[in-house]
Amino acid sequence: MAACCRLTRFLVVPGATLGGLRLPGLRWLSGSMGTDQAVYDVVVAGGGMVGTAMACALGHNIHFRDKKILLLEAGPNKVGKKLPETYSNRVSSITPGSATLLSSFGAWDHICNMRYKPFRRMQVWDACSEALIIFDKDDLDDMGYIVENDVIMSALTKQLDVIPDQVEVVYRSKVISYTWPGPFCNTENSPWVQITLADGRQFQTKLLIGADGQNSGVRSAAGIQNMCWPYDQSAVVATLHLSEPTENNVAWQRFLPSGPIALLPLSDTLSSLVWSTSHEHAKELVSMEEENFLDAINSAFWSDASHTDFIDSAGSILQYAVTFLQPTKSSARQLPPSVAKVEPKSRALFPLGLGHAVEYVRPRVALIGDAAHRVHPLAGQGVNMGFGDISSLIHHLSRAAFDGKDLGSMCHLTKYETERQRHNIFLIAATDLLKRLYSTTLSPLVLLRTWGLQATNAVLPLKEQIMAFASK
Amino acid sequence: MWGLRAVRGRGWGLVGVRSAGRGTDRPWATGLEGKQTNRTLLITPWLFNDKGIMCLKSNNITVAYSDNMKTYRYIGMRLHSTSTTVDPNEMKTFQALAYKWWDEQGEYAPLHSMNDLRVPFIRDNLLKMITNHHLESPLSGMKILDVGCGGGLLCEPLGRLGALVTGIDPLNENIKTAQQHKSFDPILDKRIQYKACSLEDIVEDTAETFDAVVASEVVEHVNDLETFIQCCCQVLKPGGSLFLTTINKTHLSYALGIIFAEQIAGIVPKGTHTWEKFVSPEELESLLESNGLLVQTITGMLYNPFSGYWRWTEHTNLNYAAHAIKSSAKVETEEHHTKAPGIDGQEASQK
């Protein structure tokens, strides 16, 4: 019964320390009570892309005009005044749904004025067979946009600077403890969340939003279990120069047995590499000579070494059948560009894993972004899921604010959780399944995925459904 | 004492009645009036571990459950309007509940979720009256009176929407709980005032000062409904709104509210509710109209005990909400003049 589940929610983890400052002389019979700390309506912990976007969205929301919002970021303000000439090696694929969210509070215009690259088409194919799937939109809409993470942060910070009265930002604010209020019967204590920083400052808030990444302090302080396991893979990123300038509006991804390699367009001459492979191979790639690195990339995209005759013939059988049943051919296969140069100092690697918080919300706390879920980059959905969390949470909080509700109340927070968990769990499971399916060279599985990919490529409605789900 | 019996039947596990010792650490125990007994009910702490069970029970009860709480809230009202006919035991049992107002999953859960209907109802109908409003503070500048505010469940959302709210309740404990709860929020602290009194006590001082009066789950407990409505009308500004939510007097409300809740399930103590005091929308409408309040809307509300949510419905045979506007004297005199200039005051007073 829902009530029993709710009971477990109220097993609040008492904080380590209250962090000093007990509210002095609280006589509960008296009318007003002076608190020494300001009470914020919402505190967003974590100033990454998702946290800053959340603070921005709240600040620009009409129902939050008279509310106080605080953004806490443990690091310094990294956004410089000027955009650097060279492209950064960390980029994200932004779906149209996320672009809509960013434009709802005016950040997308800043991104358009800086730099971004729309792409119209995505080609995904296997290293072990000829099977491929091509996503493209018949109309002239963009499928998605490749934007550097620094550009997104810069745009968001610009929009935050426009509303200093609504949103206060505190940099270099490492939080050492979060304290949640006890069960409601302790009416003497403050019902708000207490946050203590390393420098001794304290804040109180009605709702704490945890956007502090995969090792979320908010999540662990709230005692929310996190289902996670590391993939035995690291992702290598780099900025690459193409051999010759092209229109470059296609995103390429090839599934190698060691992991997927993707080439995302940044401009007519530049592309960004994301290559997920084993830890050892990733370290090798990052440290090898530039020429060897480029050879490795080109052969990863072009080589047919993993093909076997059996799979090839099985694949072509199905292909004949498809062409027979569906004479109108879908988009022709294109060849990926080759790369000629690596941007110096742009090679880096980071480990990959999967994570999903069992609960996204507790009384007075909500998790968004990587604090709630962490996914493999093969589907390009990580930050988009975070932006989707923001859209949903803003919608529910905005309605709650217009109904005069207590922002930390579970009734609307659980609605957010249900809505997002339904979407995210499915996406994470699908990504994990794809990753496992494509990490093997066993013939039965290769056959299965070859036929599966070809069949999916042939069924247009199915492809459209996939594109629609992934673009939210 | 029926109070204890009914309460035990819910598995609360009351220890029993202990005499109030020195230095009880339960603040509400100290608030008893002189004329009442010195005994207080002390609830054992493990009560809260049974919250799950209590929630289950509360979620399985239909609208009658919220009636139970409303009775406890408004015992005091009978005290004020008809002097000393209130059973002090009822008051005590209710005092024991006074601190439970703000547990959103506790006994008052249906009232908390009724806010999902009540607050938009009040907000939207008031927004229709004003021309330029700010969406971030839709009710700013409005003065609202909440009669029978209990623990302040409805005052706080209205305060957050920008209104200046005055909450009155006859029971001191409720006012204390409400005041303590709002004291933590500096904004609400300024916007909401609470007073432990009845409507009659403040009628003289606050005549024609409120833009809106809210009497939610009150009129089915009031002894003299006509006087109550007249008092509401008196404190309203001309053109001000009166919002009521209450229970209909039908066979269905008898079956669910009285028979099922009181006699079968034993949740509501027998004799708590008097079905005769339920008010039908037709009766309410005629009372309102005869006291100068023009009825704008009457809509039914339905509680789903399984989901815990309320929803609007066109059937008013259980719970319903009403919105009426006090006719402004100016409008009446204008009508009087346009209809037939020269008609003397007699006809005007007949209207």
Separation in Å, CA of A144 to nearest CA in chain B: 34
Q: Which residues of A fall within a CB distance of 8 Å from B60?
A: none
Alpha-carbon distance A309 to A315, whole Å?
A: 10
> Is B21 an interface residue toward A (CB < 8 Å)?
no
Separation in Å, CA of B338 to nearest CA in chain A: 41
User: Span A444-460, mean pLDDT?
Assistant: 85
Beta strands in chain B (DSSP E): 17-19, 39-41, 143-147, 164-169, 192-196, 210-216, 236-247, 293-304, 309-313, 319-326
Question: Between the ranges B1-15, B61-75, B82-96, where is the mean pLDDT highest?
Answer: B82-96
Facing A63 at nearest CB: one of B116, B135, B176: B135
> Is A405 an interface residue toward B (CB < 8 Å)?
yes
* pTM for the full predicted model: 0.79
The pairs formed by A390-394 with CB atoms below 8 angstroms and a separation of 24 or more are A390/A50, A390/A53, A390/A54, A390/A57, A390/A101, A391/A97, A391/A101, A392/A416, A392/A419, A392/A420, A393/A54, A393/A209, A393/A366, A393/A368, A394/A54, A394/A57, A394/A58, A394/A61
> Is B119 an interface residue toward A (CB < 8 Å)?
yes
User: Taking Cα atoms as reference points, which of A360, A363, A415 lies closest to residue B105?
Assistant: A363
Contact A28 B183 (CB under 8 A): yes
Chain B nearest-CA residue for A61: B136
Contact A39 B59 (CB under 8 A): no
The pLDDT, as a whole number, for residue B348 is 43
The pLDDT, as a whole number, for residue A237 is 93
Facing B105 at nearest CB: one of A3, A29, A401: A3
Alpha-carbon distance A291 to B109, whole Å?
A: 68
Contact A404 B159 (CB under 8 A): yes
The pLDDT, as a whole number, for residue B273 is 67
- In this model, does residue B43 exceed pLDDT 60? no
User: Taking Cα atoms as reference points, which of A271, A233, A230, A278 lies closest to residue A250?
Assistant: A271
The pLDDT, as a whole number, for residue A187 is 64
Contact A32 B189 (CB under 8 A): yes
pLDDT band of B329, cuts 50, 70, 90: low
To the nearest whole percent, how much of chain A has pLDDT over 90?
53
Interface TM-score (ipTM) > 0.95: no
User: Taking Cα atoms as reference points, which of A120, A116, A415 lies closest to residue A247?
Assistant: A120
pLDDT, one tens digit per residue, over A244-262 is: 888 888 899 999 888 999 9
- A81 vs A65: which has the higher pLDDT: A65
User: Span A427-435, mean pLDDT?
Assistant: 91
Facing A7 at nearest CB: one of B52, B102, B137: B52
Both structure tokens of B96: 């024991």
pLDDT, one tens digit per residue, over B281-310 is: 999 999 999 999 999 999 999 888 778 889
Looking at every residue in chain A, the average pLDDT score rounds to 85
pLDDT, one tens digit per residue, over A203-250 is: 999 999 999 999 999 999 999 999 999 988 999 999 999 988 888 888
The pLDDT, as a whole number, for residue A12 is 40
- In this model, does residue B70 exceed pLDDT 60? no
Check if the beta carbon of residue A13 is closer than 8 Å to that of residue A173: no
pLDDT band of B325, cuts 50, 70, 90: very high
pLDDT band of B266, cuts 50, 70, 90: low
Contact B56 A4 (CB under 8 A): yes
Alpha-carbon distance A104 to A99, whole Å?
A: 9
> Is B124 an interface residue toward A (CB < 8 Å)?
no
The pLDDT, as a whole number, for residue B313 is 93
pLDDT band of A6, cuts 50, 70, 90: very low
Contact B116 A403 (CB under 8 A): yes
